[in-house]
Chains A and B, each alone.
Chain A
Amino acid sequence: MSETLLDIRGLKTHFHTFSGLVKAVDGVSFDVRKGEVVGLVGESGGGKSVIGFSILRLIEPPGRIEAGEILFDGEDLTKKSEVEIRAVRGGEIAMVFQDPMTSLNPVYTIGRQMDEMLQLHTELAEPARRARCIRMLEDVGISEAESRLNAYPHQFSGGMRQRVVIAIALLAGSRLIIADEPTTALDVTVQSQILKLMRRQISERGAAMILVTHDLAVVSEMADRIVVLYCGRVVERGRTEDVIAHPAHPYTRGLLDSIPRITDRQHRLRQIPGTVPDIRELGSGCSFRERCFRAQPLCAEKTPELAPVRQTLDAACHFPLEETKA
C-alpha cells in the first residue's frame, strides 16, 4: 500500500447562519494516498464542496472549522497560521473549480497568471518560468502554447479555460489537487477529454487528487476510491469497484439505482423517496432513515458509526446490504 498523503480525521465544519447551525461537515474522516484519485460524491447539501474548502482553510465566516485534523504529510493544516497556509494553497495543494471563468482573472493574460504562480511558489528565473509555462500548456493539450500565453481568458472556450486552470494547478508541482466539479459545466465530449487529461497528468506526476462531484458515472471512471457523503457525514467509503458493484449503504444503492441504465430499461426508475432533510433540523439517529427502505426503530435511536463491512469497504449503517452476486 502506498503512503498516505492526506489524512482527514473527524473534520467538522459548521456554519452559524441566522436561521440556525448548519453542520455542513460533521465528523468526516478519510485519507488520500500518493498517486491516487479519491472521489467525494453526494447530492447537493452533502457537504462535499465544503470539505475541499476546509482543506485549504477557505472557509469564510459564518463558517468555521470546529474540530478535527487535516494531516497533510503529517502536518496538521488546521493548526497552520494564515501565512503558512497561503504558501500551501496553489503550492503543495491546488484547486480546480467548476467554473473556469471565476478562477481566472479576466484582466490578466494567461501567461501572466501562470507566471505569478511560479513566482510565488518557485525560485525560478524569468526564462525558466516561461519555458515551464509553455511546456505545461502543451502538456494539457493547448496548441501554439507560446502565442497563447499572451491571450486573455475570454479568448478561450470553456473547455480550453478549464485546461488552463488545470495547467495552473499542476504548474507549481502540487502534490494534491482538489477538483470541485471540474467538468460539470462542460459538454460530454469535452468532459471526457478533460477527465482523461487529468487522470494522465496525475499519474505522470505522482500527485493525488480529490475529485468532488455529484456524478457517480464520472467518479466510477476516474476514482480509485470513493467516499459517499450524505448530510455532512460519510455514509460509505471504499474501493471504487466495490462501492459501485456492491454498495453496502442503502443510500449509495439508491443513488446507483436512480441513474437510468442503457443496458436494462425499465418503465420506472427505482427512486429514493422524499428529499434531503433540512440539515439544521437533524436530530439523533441516521439522517437517511426517512428515505430508507431498510429503516428500523434502531435507526432513529442511534446514529450509525462508520465501520468496516467488508475488507475494502466501510459503511455507516446499522443494517448494511449484503454483497450481491452479480
Chain B
Amino acid sequence: MTTPVLEVRGLVKAFPVGGGIFERLRFRKGQLLAPQKILRAVNGVNLSIAPGEVMALVGESGCGKSTVAKTIARIYEPTAGEIRIDGQDVSHLGFREMRPVRRKLQMIFQDPYASLDPRQRVKDIVIEPRRAQTGRTMSRKALEEEAVALLARVGLNAEQANRYPHQFSGGQRQRIGIARALSVRPKLIIADEPVSALDVSIQAQILNLMMDLRDEFGLSYLFVSHDLSVVHHIADKIGVMYLGFMVETASRDQLFNQPKHPYTKALLSAAPTVDKALRKPEIEITGEVPSALRLPHGCCFRTRCPLAFDRCAAERPALQAQPDGSSVACHLHDQTSVARSA
C-alpha cells in the first residue's frame, strides 16, 4: 500500500478567546484569576488522502472545515492529534523544520482579494513559496522566469507578471493563487473554498483548471467547500463535518446516493438545484448551529435532528465503519448495537 499523502489522526484545535491576560483578569472568591474561554473548533478529526486523490470537506459555516484545512497547513498549531504528510509527523514541527515540508504542501485560499498582498507584483507573489525554499541559491532572473512559466500554465501572460493584484479580476486572482501554490510542485494542495467567492461562469473555469492540474502534476487535493454540487464535481471522497466533528465520510457516489447521517441528508435536500427531478422531499431541520463555545453534550447534532432519541443526549456517537465502506457517527447506524440485536 502506498503511503497516504496526508493522514490526520485525532486532530483537535481549540482557540482561547477573550483577549490578553489583562482583559481576562477577574477576582473570584478572593483569588486573582485569568479564566480562559475555549472555542472548540475541531474535536478529533481523522482523514487520509492517497496520492492523486481528491477529498472534500463539506459543512456549514462554523463546522470547523476551514480550521482543519488551516491546521493541516500549519497556519494554526494543532492542540492535539497527529498530522502526517507523506508519512512524516509534522504536527509539532517548529518553523524551521516545517520549511522543507512546505515543498510538499501548499494552499489555495478563499478570498481572491485578500489572499494576495496588494503591495506586491504578481511575479513576486507567485514565486514566494519557491523563493522561501531556495533562499539565495537561485538568481532573481531564474526565479522570474519560473514565475512567468507558472503564470502561463494558469492562463496569464508575461506582461501581466509585472502588474499588481488590483489590476486583475477575481477569477484571474484565483489563478495567481493557484500558480503560487504550484510554484514548489507540491504533492498536496489544500484548497479552502477556492471558488465560493467567484461568479458561476468563472467558478467553472477554475474548477476545470484545478482538475487539469491534478492530472498533469499528479496532485492530491483537500478541498473545503460548502457547495455540494461543486464537491460532487471534484471529489473522490467526502467528509461531512458538523460543529468540529466528522459525522460521515464516504466515497462520492455513496454519499450522494445513500447518505446515512441525518445531517448529510438534510444538507443534500436543502441545497437548491436547477434540476427539478432532484428536488427531494425535504428532511426538515430547524434552528441553527449551536455555539462552539458550549458544545451540546451527547451528539452534537441532536439539537436540530428530527430523529434524535434518548441515547443521543446521553452519549456522543463515534465515527464507525459501515459495511459498505463509509463511516458514520450516528447512533442510528451503530454497528455494535445492530450486531447485538441481530
Contact surface of A with B, Cβ cutoff 8 Å: 43-44, 157-160, 187-193, 195, 214-218, 220-221, 244, 254-263, 265, 267-273, 275-276
> Closest residue of chain B to A268, judged by CB?
B208
CA distance A261 to B230 in the complex (A): 8
Choose from A188, A195, A263, A271 the contact partner of B201 (Cβ within 8 Å): A271
A43-B201, A215-B272 are contacts. A262–B288 as well, Cβ < 8 Å? no
CA distance A263 to B279 in the complex (A): 12
A sample of 17 inter-chain contacts (CB < 8 A) reads A157-B288, A187-B289, A188-B272, A191-B270, A191-B272, A192-B269, A192-B271, A217-B229, A218-B272, A244-B274, A258-B201, A260-B204, A262-B228, A268-B208, A268-B212, A269-B207, A270-B204
A215 to chain B minimum Cβ distance, whole angstroms, is 7
- Contact flags B194-205 to A (C-beta < 8 A → 1, else 0): 000001111111
User: For B272, what are the chain A residues with a Cβ–Cβ distance below 8 Å?
Assistant: 188, 191-192, 195, 215, 217-218, 220-221
Q: Say yes or no: B266 contacts A258, CB within 8 Å.
A: no
A147 to chain B minimum Cβ distance, whole angstroms, is 17
Choose from A157, A188, A190 the contact partner of B271 (Cβ within 8 Å): A188
User: For A191, what are the chain B residues with a Cβ–Cβ distance below 8 Å?
Assistant: 270, 272
User: For B172, what are the chain A residues with a Cβ–Cβ distance below 8 Å?
Assistant: 275
B172 to chain A minimum Cβ distance, whole angstroms, is 7
User: For B32, what are the chain A residues with a Cβ–Cβ distance below 8 Å?
Assistant: none
Across chains A and B, the number of contacting residue pairs, with CB separation under 8 Å, is: 113
A187-B226, A260-B207 are contacts. A43–B200 as well, Cβ < 8 Å? yes
B111 to chain A minimum Cβ distance, whole angstroms, is 14
Q: Say yes or no: B274 contacts A217, CB within 8 Å.
A: yes
Q: Say yes or no: B232 contacts A44, CB within 8 Å.
A: no
A189-B60, A271-B201 are contacts. A262–B289 as well, Cβ < 8 Å? no
Q: Say yes or no: B204 contacts A258, CB within 8 Å.
A: yes
A148 to chain B minimum Cβ distance, whole angstroms, is 14
CA distance A195 to B279 in the complex (A): 15
CA distance A220 to B61 in the complex (A): 24
A194 to chain B minimum Cβ distance, whole angstroms, is 11
A76 to chain B minimum Cβ distance, whole angstroms, is 33
Is the CB of B277 closer than 8 A to any CB of chain A? yes
Q: Say yes or no: A263 contacts B200, CB within 8 Å.
A: no
| Chain B interface, number of residues (Cβ within 8 angstroms) | 42
Q: Say yes or no: A262 contacts B211, CB within 8 Å.
A: no
CA distance A216 to B273 in the complex (A): 8
User: For A276, what are the chain B residues with a Cβ–Cβ distance below 8 Å?
Assistant: 169, 199
User: For A159, what are the chain B residues with a Cβ–Cβ distance below 8 Å?
Assistant: 288
User: For B232, what are the chain A residues with a Cβ–Cβ distance below 8 Å?
Assistant: 260, 262, 265
In B37-68, the 8 Å CB interface with A consists of: 60-61
Q: A188-B270, A269-B208 are in contact. List 7 more A-B contacts (CB 8 A).
A: A43-B202, A157-B288, A195-B272, A260-B234, A268-B208, A271-B204, A271-B205
- Contact flags B112-147 to A (C-beta < 8 A → 1, else 0): 000000000000000000000000000000000000
CA distance A203 to B289 in the complex (A): 29
User: For A255, what are the chain B residues with a Cβ–Cβ distance below 8 Å?
Assistant: 200-201
> Closest residue of chain A to B290, judged by CB?
A157
User: For B201, what are the chain A residues with a Cβ–Cβ distance below 8 Å?
Assistant: 43, 254-255, 258, 271-272
Is the CB of B339 closer than 8 A to any CB of chain A? no
Q: Say yes or no: B273 contacts A271, CB within 8 Å.
A: no
A187-B60, A214-B199 are contacts. A260–B230 as well, Cβ < 8 Å? yes
Q: Say yes or no: A189 contacts B270, CB within 8 Å.
A: yes
User: For B286, what are the chain A residues with a Cβ–Cβ distance below 8 Å?
Assistant: 193
Choose from A217, A256, A268 the contact partner of B211 (Cβ within 8 Å): A268
A184 to chain B minimum Cβ distance, whole angstroms, is 10
A153 to chain B minimum Cβ distance, whole angstroms, is 15
CA distance A62 to B208 in the complex (A): 39
- Contact flags B149-168 to A (C-beta < 8 A → 1, else 0): 00000000000000000000
A214-B199, A268-B208, A271-B205 are contacts. A260–B229 as well, Cβ < 8 Å? yes
B278 to chain A minimum Cβ distance, whole angstroms, is 6
User: For A43, what are the chain B residues with a Cβ–Cβ distance below 8 Å?
Assistant: 199-202
Is the CB of B89 closer than 8 A to any CB of chain A? no
Q: Say yes or no: B273 contacts A217, CB within 8 Å.
A: yes
Choose from A192, A193, A216, A221 the contact partner of B200 (Cβ within 8 Å): A216
User: For A216, what are the chain B residues with a Cβ–Cβ distance below 8 Å?
Assistant: 200, 274
B281 to chain A minimum Cβ distance, whole angstroms, is 12
Is the CB of B15 closer than 8 A to any CB of chain A? no
CA distance A192 to B285 in the complex (A): 10
CA distance A220 to B211 in the complex (A): 28
A269-B208, A275-B172 are contacts. A160–B288 as well, Cβ < 8 Å? yes
- Contact flags B71-106 to A (C-beta < 8 A → 1, else 0): 000000000000000000000000000000000000
A-B pairs, top 8 by smallest CB distance, nearest first, are A260-B233, A187-B60, A43-B199, A258-B204, A217-B272, A271-B204, A272-B201, A192-B270
Is the CB of B282 closer than 8 A to any CB of chain A? yes
Is the CB of B310 closer than 8 A to any CB of chain A? no
Q: Say yes or no: A258 contacts B203, CB within 8 Å.
A: yes
Is the CB of B275 closer than 8 A to any CB of chain A? yes
